[in-house]
Structure 1
Amino acid sequence: MNQAQATKNTQVQHMNPIQTNIVEPQGTVHHAPHDAALAARALTALRGLYEQPLALFSIVDSEEDLAEIETLAQRITAQSDVLVLVGIGGSSLGAEALVALRSANHSVRLMVMDNPDPESFAQMQQTVHPDRTSWLFISKSGGTLETVTQVMLVLDWLEHEIGAEGIRARCYACTEPTSSSLAKLADHYGMMRITHDPLLGGRWSCAANIGLVPAAVCGVDVRAVRRGMRDVLHHALHTEAEHNLAIQGALYAMRHAALGRTIHTIMPYVDRLEFLSAWCRQLISESLGKDGKGITPLAALGTVDQHSMLQLMLDGMDQQFFTVITTHQHGVGTKISKKLADVAGLSYLADKPLGDVMDAFQQGTIASLQAAGRPVRTLHVPVVDAYHLGALLMHIMIETILIADMMEVNAFDQPAVEDSKIRAKKVLGA
């Protein structure tokens, strides 16, 4: 699609499976001409990225890679009870967000080794059975020190447990097609190498094999994930600013950051979306925190963090703006016994399903935040499944790209993090 076609198609309303509502404190000033100019520029930039094409958008727009991903997942599933993913940051967070959808009775579970903590490594060795485990080593550069050090320890251990042939059959390395440390280790043992797209940054990689292989191994419908992502992408590309959910979300963030509310609290009321908040933390921090600018993402979980953070949210400094992620909970789940509700003196709960309790608290928190004069945006999906999780992931990625354009920072690099890596290597004698 060329630029002219993209512009023409903005008149078409494309489906977005996410419902959103923004309630801002009384007196919040909307600078309509300024907002319109920001939105127009950001939308033009987004369409320009699609035309380049940006690797993320090309991947989402295609299904050509999915058969290969599913075939690899079937191979791993057939030989494994556990898939151990050795990777950190963008190499693991997207996969964890997707694998949270895994059914409790699915045969394969995911274990992530990210932090190079000696105690955690020892616990892994005591937990897994090497002859019923597969290993996925992920590092875009192939030189991520936390990952490569653990890969070497795993390989040394596995060589004693299942031998070089076992390593070749059970270990997979995902990295760029370069001669990196991880690539050399993979070639030494004859492991299958999976190509990490050199043009796709780790924090954007949940849409690609890096996120989708672990998801498919754990029984997640990766075609539905990709479909949800694609629907949201085309809504963002082809919908004018006034009705464009990603544009409106970016303007919401910019308005409140300009007022000194630079903490974005992301609070799903769904346990399976807890890892989504952790993934957001990296995406937003690394994409926007540059040149003295940025937004600080704060991950929370309802109702758990009502018992740890809500006091601060409601009565502390007015530094936060909120995104509360909800789903249909009313009428869902096991019913509370009338007999026990009466015994407990809570007769109003008799015969109510557990979902009614969660629904009441998510409604109550949203109303409390609004009453306290806090800006609140809700993102609502009717059900938390692969399609709608894909939609949420893509919405947040596009919104982050748009905010970066509005802030005039590069969403796709992270130059400052290299300094700590260099210093760590010096400590180790490099």
Structure 2
Amino acid sequence: MKLLYKTAHFTDQSIKKMSGVLEEYIAFLQDVARKNSYNQPESFINVPFDEKQINQVFTVNNLTVNQHLKYVLVLGIGGSSLGAKAIYDAIQGHYLLLQPEHFPKVFFMDTIDPDFRKHLEVLLKREAQTPEEVLITVVSESGTTLETRNNLEFLMQTFPHYKERVVILTNVDSPLWKEDCENPDKCLVVPRKVGGRYSVFTPVGMFPLSVVGVNILGLVEGAMEARKDGILPGVEENKALLSAVVSYMAYERGLTTQVSFVFNPKLESVGKWWCQLLAESLGKDGKGVTPLISVGTNDLHSMLQLYIDGPRDKFFNFISCESEMSREVRAVLSGVKKSFDEHKIPYTETILDRIDEHSLGYFMQTKMMEVIMLGKLMGINPFGQSAVEDYKKYARELLA
């Protein structure tokens, strides 16, 4: 992966000076990596190295996946589903509407919309003749997520014969664990210190992806490489540090909206994953960076006018994969960058080697490490999301 930053309009000297502010934090992350435990919120950086966890994923996979499997239902919301969906869409899912004979298919039940449920019910009753054709993965670290619990209740009431086709992913001793993990062979543990939006390389992401044949070893190998780079002391080799510093300097300049402009539609869900990671981690104490996702070339015909001729409050990251761009798309992206240069609009470029498991693993681990470094620079705790808990409390009161 390449990260190009000269067009961000910051000097190497200023970037290096700002990176020095994070010297102690980088040393702390090195210590977290050295201890290789789950004692700190930052311990998500150790997840890709957890062989026991990956082996447990493969064990449950072997117990539940069969040649008849047609539909995988992922019950989760926010960090419990966005990471898996990002990778699934990039590797398989984006074009599955054009491949009606491809199985198994994944449905991410990240909504409690009754119309969605109705159509899903009709599909399963028509197309799934036996329980072996369906696998339900329930993802809730706390075990109390309202939408996830509600979707599980709906499925068990509508399809009680699917009960033995349920796999639970949660914290040990959560309400979900206590209620549904009498059979530990169908339960996978999510480390308690690893927050949802940092959990893509735990079973939260790895299990459902393994079920549909995604190379999860390639993902964790890419993430391992990114972790090694992400604890290096200088911006020359540490892309997470470089990107965090440049983003912070843009923020300090008043560029409080960050636009991820992906030039491959398969990466749209990766952009949505990044939006949650950035917004939920840093939107606190009256501070924050507002993330947006745009898709090239589509959004050149809807958003580009605003981006170039609107308020100068935005910082851009063009994300592309050289090996998967046509001559026409490459020309369009070059034209957009030239237009940005002429209007002196700052941006960086992230160029993926390929859109495959290793590259995605490297990119996503780098971005997670970037956001905690950015939080440190902004004086914000990038873990927890107290404001999100309010609606849950009020909703439960109304439903009681």
Show the 5 A alignment for 1:184-263: 184-187=178-181, 192-263=186-257
Could you say which residue in structure 2 is the equivalent of 1:284?
Answer: 278
| 2:46 aligned partner, one-letter code | S
> Contact 2:219 / 2:361 at 8 angstroms: preserved in 1?
yes
* Alpha-carbon distance between aligned partners in 1 of 2:374 and 2:10, rounded to the nearest angstrom: 23
Aligned to 2:92: 102
Distance change (3 Å), C-alpha of 1:414 and 1:30: farther
Distance of 2:185 and 2:362 partners within structure 1: 34
- Give the direction of change, closer, same or farther, for the CA distance of 1:424–1:367 in structure 2 (3 Å limit): same
1:399 aligns with 2:395: no
- The residue that corresponds to 2:328 in the other structure is 357
Alpha-carbon offset, residue 186 of structure 1: 1.9
Q: Are the equivalent residues in 1 in contact too, given 2:80–2:140 (CA < 8 A)?
A: yes
Partner residue in 1 for 2:141: 140
Structure 2 alignment gaps of length 5 or more: none
For 2:16 and 2:60, locate their aligned partners in 1 and report how far apart those are by CA, in whole Å: 51
Contact map agreement 2:141 2:174 (CA 8 A) in 1: no
- Which residue is equivalent to 1:43? 26
Taking a change above 3 Å as real, the CA distance of residues 58 and 27 of structure 1, as seen in their structure-2 partners, is closer
Checking the alignment, whether the CA contact within 8 Å between 2:141 and 2:169 is kept in structure 1 is: yes
Partner of 2:76: 87
Aligned counterparts of 1:46 and 1:249: Cα–Cα separation in 2: 17
Matches within 5 A, 1:13-412: 18-24=1-7, 31=14, 34-51=17-34, 53=37, 54-78=42-66, 79-100=68-89, 101-102=91-92, 107-128=103-124, 129=128, 131=131, 132-159=133-160, 162=161, 166-168=162-164, 170-180=165-175, 182-187=176-181, 192-329=186-323, 355-412=326-383
Tell me, yes or no, if the aligned pair for 1:329 and 1:359 is still in contact at 8 Å. no
Structure 1 residue 420 displacement after superposition: 1.6
Q: After TM superposition, give the deviation of residue 363 of structure 1 in Å.
A: 2.0
| Structure 1 residue 75: Cα displacement | 4.0
Moved over 6 A (4+): 27-30, 188-191
Aligned residue pairs total 382
Task: Give the deviation of 1:383 after TM superposition.
Answer: 1.1
For 1:277 and 1:32, locate their aligned partners in 2 and report how far apart those are by CA, in whole Å.
Answer: 25
Cα deviation, residue 62, structure 1 = 3.2
Once the two structures are TM-superposed, the CA of residue 89 in structure 1 deviates from its matched residue by 0.5
Instruction: Give CA-to-partner distance per residue, 1:347-395, whole Å, 9 cap, x none.
Output: xxxxxxxx11222222222222222211111111121100001011011
Tell me, in whole angstroms, the C-alpha distance in 1 between the residues paired with 2:239 and 2:349.
Answer: 11
Distance in 2, matches of 1:32 and 1:67, equals 41
Write the letter of the residue equivalent to 1:359. Answer: R
Could you tell me which amino acid in structure 2 is paired with residue 133 of structure 1? V
Distance 2:15 2:110 in 1: 45
Contact 1:269 1:325 in 2 (8 A): yes
Deviation track 1:19-44 (CA, whole Å, cap 9, x = no partner) reads 11113466889746751432324423
TM-score by length of 1: 0.83
CA distance in 2, matches of 1:427, 1:111: 29
Alpha-carbon offset, residue 184 of structure 1: 4.8
Taking every aligned residue pair, what percent have the same amino acid on both sides?
A: 26
Aligned equivalents of 1:372 and 1:244: distance in 2?
A: 29
CA RMSD in angstroms, aligned pairs only: 2.3
Q: For the residues of structure 2 that align with 1:138 and 1:171, how far apart are their CA atoms?
A: 11
Does the CA-based 8 Å contact 1:84-1:113 persist in structure 2?
A: yes
> Do the aligned partners of 1:267 and 1:302 also contact (CA within 8 Å) in 2?
yes
In structure 2, the CA distance between the partners of 1:126 and 1:399, relative to structure 1 (3 Å rule), is same
Q: CA deviation at 1:70?
A: 2.5
Letter in 2 for 1:93: L
Cα deviation digits, residues 110-132 of structure 1 (max 9, x gap): 10111111111111111222631
Structure-2-length-normalised TM-score: 0.89
Q: CA deviation at 1:82?
A: 0.9
1:423 counterpart (385, 389, 394): 394
Amino acid at match of 1:420: Y
Distance 1:28 1:136 in 2: 48
Give the letter for the 2:375 counterpart.
Answer: A
Supply the AA of the counterpart residue of 2:115: E
- Whole-angstrom CA distance in 2 between matches of 1:273 and 1:33: 31
Q: Is the 8 A contact 1:329 1:358 kept in 2?
A: no
Provide closer, same or farther for how the CA distance between residues 99 and 362 of structure 1 changes in structure 2, counting only shifts above 3 A: same
Query: Given the superposition, is the C-alpha separation of residues 20 and 30 from structure 1 closer, same or farther in structure 2, using an over 3 Å criterion?
Result: same
Q: Structure 1 residues 294, 42: CA separation in 2 closer, same or farther (over 3 Å shift)?
A: farther
1:189, CA displacement in angstroms?
8.9
Q: Residue 107 of structure 1: CA displacement? A: 2.8
